[in-house]
Structure 1
Amino acid sequence: MIGRIPRHFVLAAGAFAATISAGSTRAEDTINCVFPFWFGFAPVFVAEAKGYFAEEELTVTWAFDNDRANVLPALETGAIDCTMRTIGESMARPRTAETSGTIIATIDISIGADGVVAGPDIESVADLVGKTFAGEINHPGTVLTQVALNEIGKSVADMDMRLINTDDSIAVFEDDSIAAVATWEPMLSQIVNNTSRTGSKVLLSSADYEGLITDIVLVRTDDYQENPEKYAKFLRGIFRAIDDYMEDPDDFIALSAPEYGVPDAEMKEALEGVKYTTYEETIEYMPMSEDGKLRAVFDTFNDINISLDLQDTPLPYTPYIDGSLLPDLFEGKTR
């Protein structure tokens, strides 16, 4: 089962108990997950709609919240059990090697759904030097900009960085003093299609650096260690929903778009920039050894985040990333 709870649930941990009806399920079979407003996390809604969590006798509650300042403390206190976001964001300060949170799976890769929209006078990333750039410091679009600037011997320090909430990026970009803004879908397309600044365009996107912007499932370490099967149930539901997307994307979208309050067509367009990682692809990213695809992304972000002053020191790959649930996830289970 899945239940919707208020967006700012994480600020009031006591609210969680009220969302679960007495006797509906054991506490160890309940997961409360908070994640950003991002279409990549739609498999949660499809898994509920298809009854996959119910088959597992698992209750999942959820809320949208983009703010890591809310989510990380909630994981630490046990107010929530799960979040999903980019691996680079997950690694950034205030996380340290001692912070609660274990990555147990990937869920999607951005292949164009994150990016930077630039005004009509900006033709290349070099044109951003000395100009005003708006975004969150650990936003995927900002990370892409840092990588691109680094390729020409520059960095985000060579721009006038204006910190904003990504949710405000549409309004912020209407200020023509803003040379470019970091954002994501659906706002990325909405800005380009609707801005009054004729000639604006997507300057950079995750399609330019495929695999760099990878979303992961991050869970509360102590609960995961005590109740690993609960999280295996959650992952089985997620991967079955991703199978559904591969087989019938229109049905997947019809089931999940209402949760985001957007038309099916808008979600379909945005998901053209997203690649869900199937169960088999996730194993390639997170094999039991440390030489999977996610290791390379992890090492890259250790460097990027330090260069952006988002980490003090490199984080160790293990035990932060743990793929031990994956090899036998569907053994004896429905797929």
Structure 2
Amino acid sequence: MNRRTVLRELGAALACLALSVGCSNKEPAARGAGAAAGPDQRAGDAKAPAPPAAPVKLTVGHDLWIGYAGVFLANELGYFKEAGLDVGLKPFSNPGDTLAALASSQLDIGLTTLQNLAVVNGNGDTDIVAIALIDSSNGADAVVAREGIASMADLKGKTVALTLGEVNHMLFLLGLEKAGLRADDVKITSMSADDAGAAFVAGKVDAAVTWEPWITKATKGGGHVIFSSASVPDTIADSVAVRRSRLAEGKDAYAKFLGAIDRGVRSLRSDPDKALPIVGKYLNAPAEDVKRMLDGDKIYGLAENKQLFGTADRPGPVYATMKYVVDFAAQSRLVKKAPAPESLLDPGFVR
């Protein structure tokens, strides 16, 4: 109520008293105004500001991998929260494990390899697609072997720990192919990549196909790398995977999620002294080891994704990588039916 309104009400009240006419119909307004008609009252009937929107909840599945450094930083530095997201990170033993949980709606987002994406779509009726790449391994996945095993060819008749059907299995098959060996030339024992690394460090197997941080632990313990993703660059890539049927309703949240990861990547590059210990907390590794691990991995932000996905007229290199992965999965009989490579990618968020 403004000052003019107060004067009108006061004048009406005085007129009522002068004429000795009951003005009871004014009393509620006068009482209601009495507490609010002071000099501090705001003008008009302005509404109170709307409360801030509740953060959008996202449950994100991931394995403990150096390539997800940007995700870990976005979580720890509050970038998800600042984007209006309430992100819950849920760790899994293998990158493929996230996809079963994603397909059954236990997760909103799965962080996984393109190889796992090809396998899950090639062995069932799912609608999971990659909307961005997070990183590609350039040495951070490897075959580590004990002393006396100098090359992949020396693995003939030896016991190797790896995860059947997972990305480290694909890496191993690529290495065998280059060495002129077949899978049945070695003794394979299947376990998670983390367990494979631990088994090797404990001396239980001759070799293991594992990833960081276990490669660093294995080499510190006397093992050495005989084949790695550096020999097949840009083949082992990790992605942000979602269900195609949720793209429309989750569009805004997915875009904010990618934007927050991009901030995490930029923080990693601009302030490594602050970032490396944070990443190390997730990987249970000191900062100096994290720095060494990153030498074997290429982390992608939104700018790199724009180049990787290209345009509709000139598709980027991720499409060739996806085709290579699908073809290899089919040739290695890891899938029942090879999916169309382009159907596994949705470029709408990064182009």
Q: TM-score range by the shorter chain?
A: 0.7 to 0.9
Among 147, 159, 163, the residue aligned to 1:136? 163
The Cα of 1:31 is off from its aligned counterpart by 1.2
Q: How far apart are the structure 2 equivalents of 1:240 and 1:312?
A: 39
The Cα of 1:167 is off from its aligned counterpart by 2.0
The Cα of 1:176 is off from its aligned counterpart by 5.6
Q: Which residue of 2 aligns with 1:284?
A: 307
Q: How far apart are the structure 2 equivalents of 1:86 and 1:48?
A: 21
Counterpart residue type for residue 251 of structure 1: K
2:253 equivalent to 1:266: no
Q: State the secondary structure of the residue aligned to 1:318.
A: helix
Q: Which residue of 1 aligns with 2:74?
A: 47
Counterpart residue type for residue 254 of structure 2: Y
Among 117, 120, 126, the residue aligned to 2:144? 117
The Cα of 1:93 is off from its aligned counterpart by 4.1
Summarize the Cα distance change of 1:205–1:67 in structure 2 as closer, same or farther, 3 Å threshold: closer
2:209 equivalent to 1:182: yes
Q: Which residue of 2 aligns with 1:19?
A: none
How many residues are treated as equivalent by the alignment? 300
Gaps of at least 5 residues in structure 2 are 1-50
Residues 151-230 of structure 1: matches in 2 within 5 Å? Answer: 151-173=178-200, 178-195=205-222, 200-230=223-253
2:279 equivalent to 1:256: yes
Q: How far apart are the structure 1 equivalents of 2:244 and 2:54?
A: 19
Summarize the Cα distance change of 1:67–1:121 in structure 2 as closer, same or farther, 3 Å threshold: same
Q: State the secondary structure of the residue aligned to 2:148.
A: coil
2:337 equivalent to 1:313: yes
Deviations 1:99-139 (A, max 9, x none): 13120000111111110101222222122233222111234
Q: How far apart are the structure 2 equivalents of 1:43 and 1:302?
A: 27
Summarize the Cα distance change of 1:269–1:88 in structure 2 as closer, same or farther, 3 Å threshold: same
Q: How far apart are the structure 2 equivalents of 1:100 and 1:70?
A: 16
Larger Rg: 2
Q: Which residue of 2 aligns with 1:324?
A: 348
TM-score using structure 2 length: 0.78
The Cα of 1:26 is off from its aligned counterpart by 4.6
Counterpart residue type for residue 202 of structure 1: V
Q: State the secondary structure of the residue aligned to 2:343.
A: coil
Q: State the secondary structure of the residue aligned to 2:125.
A: coil
Q: State the secondary structure of the residue aligned to 1:88.
A: helix
Contact 2:122 2:338 (C-alpha < 8 Å) held by counterparts? no
Root-mean-square deviation (CA, aligned residues, Å) is 2.4
Q: Which residue of 1 aligns with 2:328?
A: 304
Counterpart residue type for residue 308 of structure 2: Y
Q: How far apart are the structure 2 equivalents of 1:298 and 1:91?
A: 8
Counterpart residue type for residue 42 of structure 1: A
The Cα of 1:169 is off from its aligned counterpart by 2.1
Contact 1:166 1:182 (C-alpha < 8 Å) held by counterparts? yes
Q: How far apart are the structure 2 equivalents of 1:164 and 1:43?
A: 27
Deviations 1:19-47 (A, max 9, x none): xxxx99657x2211010011211212211
The Cα of 1:57 is off from its aligned counterpart by 1.0
Q: How far apart are the structure 1 equivalents of 2:329 and 2:160?
A: 18
The Cα of 1:288 is off from its aligned counterpart by 3.7
The Cα of 1:170 is off from its aligned counterpart by 3.6
Q: When you count helix as a share of all residues, which structure comes out higher?
A: 2
TM-score using structure 1 length: 0.81
The Cα of 1:80 is off from its aligned counterpart by 0.7
The Cα of 1:295 is off from its aligned counterpart by 1.2
